[in-house]
């Protein structure tokens, strides 16, 4: 998960 | 419908994916049509060719990363994707996002003069000469041309993109059955739409036959990146977008 921090973050952000 | 999937459900899946696609494309069809014959001048192409290799690489990495962010948004809006476990969401995006970018690229490709939209206008392969990877660039152009030849509608591009992304071929999936169920439904929806739109009975088979090429292009991209990084490690480490590094490094 640490290796894919940004992707993880993008997935967590609510869909605008 | 096939395998106990009702036509109503297939239609719902198709409509959701088409909507997700249209909402997350960088350019609308109308915008692309307006731009289609705006090509970079000879001087502009010369300017791209005169750039240092690492500068053009960086520029392309930024463009690809930008396109990938839209693909992530596309994935998130597909019904069922966010219901997959987090491991599988990340895995599917990590292995499939560039493939979807390449599928989407055919929308911004003009097969009549073999040009692609880059930095606001269309230009040919020679625009990317300074990257020093002619094989990859020409393979990407060939792929775009071959996909354009199938004359896909926006709906078919949407469903094909989803089918490429939600794939059981990716290793290390934790819930492959769940992914498979979703993928099957997407394929049924794609099949249904293609049967309706195309006289050519083999259209779907031809489309599916492009998938191995997609994965070969991504492998080639990784190899070219590795070769570039050996020569310009500081460019990759300091100047490339973090998301690009996370996905491909």
Q: Do A15 and B73 touch (CB under 8 A)?
A: yes
Of the candidates A3, A7, A15, which has its C-beta nearest B77's C-beta?
A15
Q: Do B90 and A10 touch (CB under 8 A)?
A: no
| pLDDT above 70 as % of chain B | 99
Distance separating alpha carbons of residues B87 and B84, to the nearest angstrom: 8
Smallest Cα distance from A2 to chain B, Å: 10
Task: Summarize pLDDT for A1-16 with one digit per residue, the tens.
Answer: 578 999 999 999 876 4
Q: Compute the average pLDDT of residues B46-51.
A: 98
pLDDT of residue B198: 85
pLDDT of residue B158: 98
**Is the confidence at residue B24, as pLDDT, over 90?**
yes
Task: Summarize pLDDT for B79-135 with one digit per residue, the tens.
Answer: 999 999 999 999 999 999 999 999 999 999 999 999 999 999 999 999 999 999 999
pLDDT of residue B5: 82
Of the candidates B77, B82, B246, which has its C-beta nearest A6's C-beta?
B246
A1, closest residue in chain B (CA to CA): B87
CB B161 within 8 Å of CB B100: yes
CB B140 within 8 Å of CB B102: yes
3-state secondary structure chain B: CHHHCCHHHHHHHHHHHHHHHHHCCCCCHHHHHHHCCCECCHHHHHHHHCCCHHHHHHHHHHHHHHHHHHHHHHHHHCCCCCCCCHHHHHHHHHHHHHHHHHHHHHHHEECCCCEEEECCEEECHHHHHHHCCHHHHHHHHHHHHHHHCCCCCHHHHHHHHHHHHCCCCCCCCCCHHHHHHHHHHHHHHHHHHHHHHCCCCCHHHHHHCCHHHHHHHHHHHHHHHHHHHHHCHHHHHHHCCHHHHHHHC
Distance separating alpha carbons of residues A13 and A10, to the nearest angstrom: 5
Residues in chain A: 16
Smallest Cα distance from A4 to chain B, Å: 6
Q: Compute the average pLDDT of residues B10-26.
A: 97
Query: Average model confidence (pLDDT) for chain B?
Result: 96
CB B81 within 8 Å of CB B166: yes
Task: Summarize pLDDT for B189-227 with one digit per residue, the tens.
Answer: 999 999 999 888 899 999 999 999 999 999 999 999 999
B53 burial type by CB count under 10 A (0-12 exposed, 13-18 middle, 19+ buried):
middle
Chain centroid to CA B79: how far?
A: 20
User: Looking at beta carbons, which residues of chain B come within 8 Å of A4?
Assistant: 90, 94, 246
Which of B16, B67, B85, B90 to mutate to probe the A interface, most A CBs <10 Å? Answer: B90
Q: Phi, psi (5° rounding) for residue B115?
A: -125, 155
A8, closest residue in chain B (CA to CA): B90
Q: For the sheet containing B109-110, what is the strand order?
A: B109-110, B115-118, B121-123
Q: Interface pTM (ipTM) of the complex? A: 0.89
Q: Do B72 and A15 touch (CB under 8 A)?
A: no
CB B17 within 8 Å of CB B186: yes
């Amino acid at each position: 998960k640490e290796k894919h921090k940004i992707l993880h973050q993008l997935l967590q952000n609510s869909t605008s | 419908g096939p395998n106990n999937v009702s036509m109503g459900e297939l239609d719902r899946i198709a409509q959701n994916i088409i909507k997700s696609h249209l909402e997350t494309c960088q350019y609308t069809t109308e915008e692309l049509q307006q731009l289609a014959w705006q090509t970079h001048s000879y001087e502009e192409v010369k300017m791209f060719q005169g750039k240092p290799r690492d500068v053009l690489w960086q520029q392309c990495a930024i463009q690809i990363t930008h396109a990938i962010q839209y693909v992530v948004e596309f994935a998130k809006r597909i019904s069922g994707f966010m219901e997959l476990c987090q491991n599988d969401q990340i895995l599917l995006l990590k292995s499939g996002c560039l493939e979807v970018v390449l599928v989407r690229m055919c929308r911004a490709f003009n097969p009549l003069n073999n040009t692609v939209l880059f930095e606001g206008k269309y230009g040919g392969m020679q625009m990317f000469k300074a990257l020093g990877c002619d094989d990859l660039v020409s393979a990407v152009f060939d792929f775009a041309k071959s996909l354009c030849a199938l004359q896909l509608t926006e709906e078919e591009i949407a469903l094909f993109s989803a089918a490429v992304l939600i794939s059981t071929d990716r290793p290390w999936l934790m819930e492959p059955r769940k992914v498979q169920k979703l993928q099957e439904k997407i394929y049924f929806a794609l099949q249904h739409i293609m049967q309706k739109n195309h006289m050519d009975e083999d259209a779907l088979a031809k489309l599916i036959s492009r998938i191995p090429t997609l994965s070969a292009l991504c492998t080639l991209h990784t190899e070219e990146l590795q070769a570039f990084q050996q020569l310009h490690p500081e460019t990759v480490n300091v100047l490339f977008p973090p998301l690009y590094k996370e996905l491909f490094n």
